[in-house]
């Protein structure tokens, strides 16, 4: 059973992660959202609350949701809580990060069919060798309907890549823990920034 203490502890972790991303300019204003899984059976996910400055979150600025992203306690969750829950169920991840970065939006527009990556040392950060392997970061069309967006993510995702770009929107990344999800987010964003510079000269 998930307790209020469990939720507040999760909120403290998410607040620290959000402050880090906000310091990079990846969660401007109230944009972006984070989640961490508290229980898989029954499914319980802690998601950052809607409408809060992500650089100023407190441990109580978090909402407990079920497998459909519906709030169980703690107020109003992010509008994308349903997608966080689906990603966690689909991938087996225990933490999900969503940031709004310029590089992810621009690269999603430049390469809507997916962003091909190879021969880069930083690929080790998402579990791939630096040489001899090609991996594609999926790009999906945006939607305000989280069920539609979830269907697109499920259809496009590559199990070898713990991230997806939502065109015109931003980046989703996930991992076994908030720390790993953070690392995946930072590595994929680095790769996106590099590709953007290469494509723009």
Segment 100-129, tens digit of pLDDT: 999 999 999 999 999 999 999 999 999 999
Residue 102: per-residue pLDDT: 97
Question: Pick from 119, 123, 117: which is nearest to 138 by CA?
Answer: 117
For the segment 175-179, the average pLDDT, to the nearest whole number, is: 98
Helix (H, G, I), strand (E, B) or coil at 11: helix
Dihedral, CA of residue 72, residue 28, residue 84 and residue 109, to nearest 10:
150
Segment 22-67, tens digit of pLDDT: 999 999 999 999 999 999 999 999 999 999 999 999 999 999 999 9
Rounded to whole angstroms, how far apart are CA atoms 159 and 161? 6
Rounded to whole angstroms, how far apart are CA atoms 182 and 127? 14
Residue 156 belongs to what H/E stretch? helix 146-156
Alpha-carbon separation of residue 4 from 10, 63, 133, 163 (angstroms): 10, 11, 45, 30
pTM, 2 dp: 0.96
Q: Where does the pLDDT of residue 135 fall: very low under 50, low under 70, confident under 90, or very high at 90 and above?
A: very high
Give the chain's mean pLDDT. Answer: 95
Residue 164: per-residue pLDDT: 98
Q: What domains does the chain contain, in order, with CATH numbers?
A: 4-200 (3.40.225.10)
Asked whether the beta carbons of 172 and 86 are under 8 A apart, the reply is no
Cα–Cα–Cα angle for 166, 170, 172, nearest 5°? Answer: 75
Would you say residue 6 has pLDDT above 80? yes
Residue 1: per-residue pLDDT: 78
């Amino acid at each position: 059973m998930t307790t209020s203490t469990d939720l507040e502890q999760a909120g403290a972790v998410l607040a620290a992660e959000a402050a880090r991303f906000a310091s990079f300019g990846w969660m401007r204003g109230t944009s972006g959202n984070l989640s961490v899984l508290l229980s898989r059976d029954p499914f319980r996910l802690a998601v950052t609350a809607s409408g809060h400055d992500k650089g100023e979150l407190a441990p109580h600025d978090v909402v407990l949701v079920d497998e459909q992203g519906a709030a169980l306690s703690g107020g109003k969750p992010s509008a994308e809580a349903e997608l966080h829950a689906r990603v966690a169920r689909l991938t087996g991840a225990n933490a999900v990060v969503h940031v709004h970065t310029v590089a992810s939006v621009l690269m999603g527009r430049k390469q809507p069919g997916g962003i091909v990556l190879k021969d880069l040392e930083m690929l080790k950060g998402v579990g791939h060798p630096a040489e001899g392997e090609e991996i594609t970061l999926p790009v999906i069309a945006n939607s305000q309907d989280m069920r539609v967006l979830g269907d697109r993510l499920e259809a496009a995702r590559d199990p070898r890549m713990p991230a997806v770009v939502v065109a015109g929107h931003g980046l989703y990344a996930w991992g076994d823990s908030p720390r790993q999800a953070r690392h995946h987010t930072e590595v994929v964003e680095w790769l996106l920034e590099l590709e953007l510079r290469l494509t723009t000269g």
